Amino acid sequence: MRLLSRLTAFVTACLVAVGPASAQSILRDAETEALLRDMAAPLVAASGLDPHNVDMVLINDSSVNAFVAGGQAVYINSGLINTADSANEVQGVIAHELGHITGGHAVSNPGGKAASNISILSLLLGAAAAAAGGGEAAMGVLMAGQQAAMGKFLAYNRSQESSADAAGAQYLSKAGITGEGSIAFFKKLQNMEYRAGYYPRAGDEFFGTHPMTMDRITTLQDVYEQDPSWKKPSDPAIETRFARAKAKLFGYLAEPKDTFRVYPESNTSIPARYARAYAYHKDSHLDLAMKEADALLLQSPGDPYFLELKGQILLEAGRPREALEPLRRATEMTGNQPLIATLFGHALIATEDGQNFTEAERVLKAAVARDRENPFAWYQLGLVYNAKGDIPRARLASAEQQAMNGQMPQALASAEAAEAALPTGTPDWLRAQDIAFQARAAMERQRKRK
């Protein structure tokens, strides 16, 4: 208990140091990412885009917003997930944003900032991750302006917004998904406008660049009501998963007292237990967090995400050996899902048992092979290499992590040291060269900006 309390204080201090960047951070969680991919898949197919090239990215921002900012990625704020009452509502937003992508509307926002913080729900920013900077990574994400999204998605012009609405309606129709969620969400935005005092006024820049929310609702409702899918129920399996993920996200981000208010003890549903498990864990109540995790596993013993939750709680409570069994099972059941595998690798290392390091190396190498944008996995892999005396690869792992953190001078030094010691022409040697080149180019751009 005491150890966890000190850990929480340390992590809080690190997050405070991050400052405003934490409002524009990328949240990563295996279960949530799988859900967003599955929610978007039929819409991406309907849009004609290649599903392998379209990403759904969750942003830690309480404003009700979603946007695209170049490339083929849809960024969804946590505030939007919290506001939505159904997966179908979020699908309406995703369809709209895909309309911006296919319409070529995604432009760099000059006032935007690069996302500078990856926070992995599966790790809750443990002390080692925070100390290593594992919670920060420059992902090159151009952020939308942080107006409180009172009825807007991005500052596109009126014709582009209308075009994205029409394309989104087309994708929903082609995918056989009702537009009721889209209308419901627009009505939520309209209510937010009214509460915030946004009314159409002559010369109002906001309303000069966006169709009025009421106009959009009227136009879209006419279209949706003519569609055969208008009264088609939303996929119940997707909705069940959405309720879980929404509660999980709320429990992770909200103050525990707010979680207990929204999900009181009297609520014994799976989403409520999920949310409370995170809240109790954040509040350093190991016994209560474990009680909720065990209750979830009693209902669904083979659920890998419940196993992941139990392992995470035990690991971060300083009991890594007990965390190994649930995390190993979760990793195996998900086919070595990279985020879960990283948590398992972390637990193996945290046992401080050298016999576990070989397995940790195998697990972590598989994780970064499938998901390179994971600075904490690189940090853990670097620990393994260092422990076995493989200093060149430890330095290469550090270079990977530092480059993602935007620490280019350090990344350059680590990459050059790795390149000098690695066998010439090997994949690792070539990768060290690539990072060094990337770091030099970034430093030169920074010098020119100054």
pLDDT value of position 112: 34
- Asked whether residue 370 carries a pLDDT value surpassing 80, the answer given is yes
pLDDT value of position 134: 36
Range list of β-strands (E), 118-219: 118-120
What is the rounded average pLDDT of the residues 99-121? 56
Quote the tokens at residue 377: 């996995």
- Asked whether residue 169 carries a pLDDT value surpassing 90, the answer given is yes
What is the rounded average pLDDT of the residues 9-21? 29
pLDDT value of position 376: 93
What is the pTM assigned to this prediction? Answer: 0.81
pLDDT value of position 214: 77
What is the rounded average pLDDT of the residues 185-208? 64
Tell me which of 447 and 348 has the higher pLDDT. 348
Contacts of 6 (CB under 8 A, 6+ apart): none
pLDDT tens column, 68-103? 877 889 999 999 999 999 999 999 999 999 998 998
Mean per-residue pLDDT over the chain, rounded: 82
| CB neighbour burial string for 180-216, b if at least 16 within 10 angstroms, e if fewer | bbbbbbbebbbebbeeeebeeeeeeeebeebbebeeb
pLDDT value of position 11: 28
pLDDT value of position 190: 79
How far apart are alpha carbons 52 and 36 in whole angstroms?
Answer: 14
How far apart are alpha carbons 347 and 320 in whole angstroms?
Answer: 5
Say what percent of the chain tops pLDDT 70: 79
Q: 425 burial class (0-12, 13-18, 19+ CB within 10 angstroms)?
A: exposed
Sign of CA dihedral 243, 244, 246, 251: positive
pLDDT value of position 394: 97
Query: Edge-to-edge strands of the sheet including 73-77?
Result: 66-67, 73-77, 55-60, 25-28, 118-120
Sign of CA dihedral 338, 344, 346, 348: negative
What is the rounded average pLDDT of the residues 176-190? 91
Cα angle: 283, vertex 148, 153; to 5 degrees: 115
- Asked whether residue 53 carries a pLDDT value surpassing 80, the answer given is yes
3-state secondary structure of 118: strand
35 and 58 in contact (C-beta within 8 Å)? no
- Asked whether residue 203 carries a pLDDT value surpassing 80, the answer given is no
pLDDT-derived band at 216 (thresholds 50, 70, 90) equals: confident
pLDDT value of position 209: 45
Domains of the chain (ranges; CATH) run: 2-225 (3.30.2010.10)
Question: How many residues comprise the chain?
Answer: 450
- Asked whether residue 204 carries a pLDDT value surpassing 50, the answer given is no
392 and 414 in contact (C-beta within 8 Å)? no
- Asked whether residue 132 carries a pLDDT value surpassing 60, the answer given is no
What is the rounded average pLDDT of the residues 425-443? 96
What is the rounded average pLDDT of the residues 268-279? 98
Enter the DSSP assignment of 319: -
How far apart are alpha carbons 61 and 28 in whole angstroms?
Answer: 13
Cα angle: 57, vertex 294, 261; to 5 degrees: 65
What is the rounded average pLDDT of the residues 294-321? 97
Paired residues of 77 in beta bridges:
59
Sign of CA dihedral 369, 373, 376, 381: positive
pLDDT tens column, 397-420? 999 999 998 899 999 999 999 999
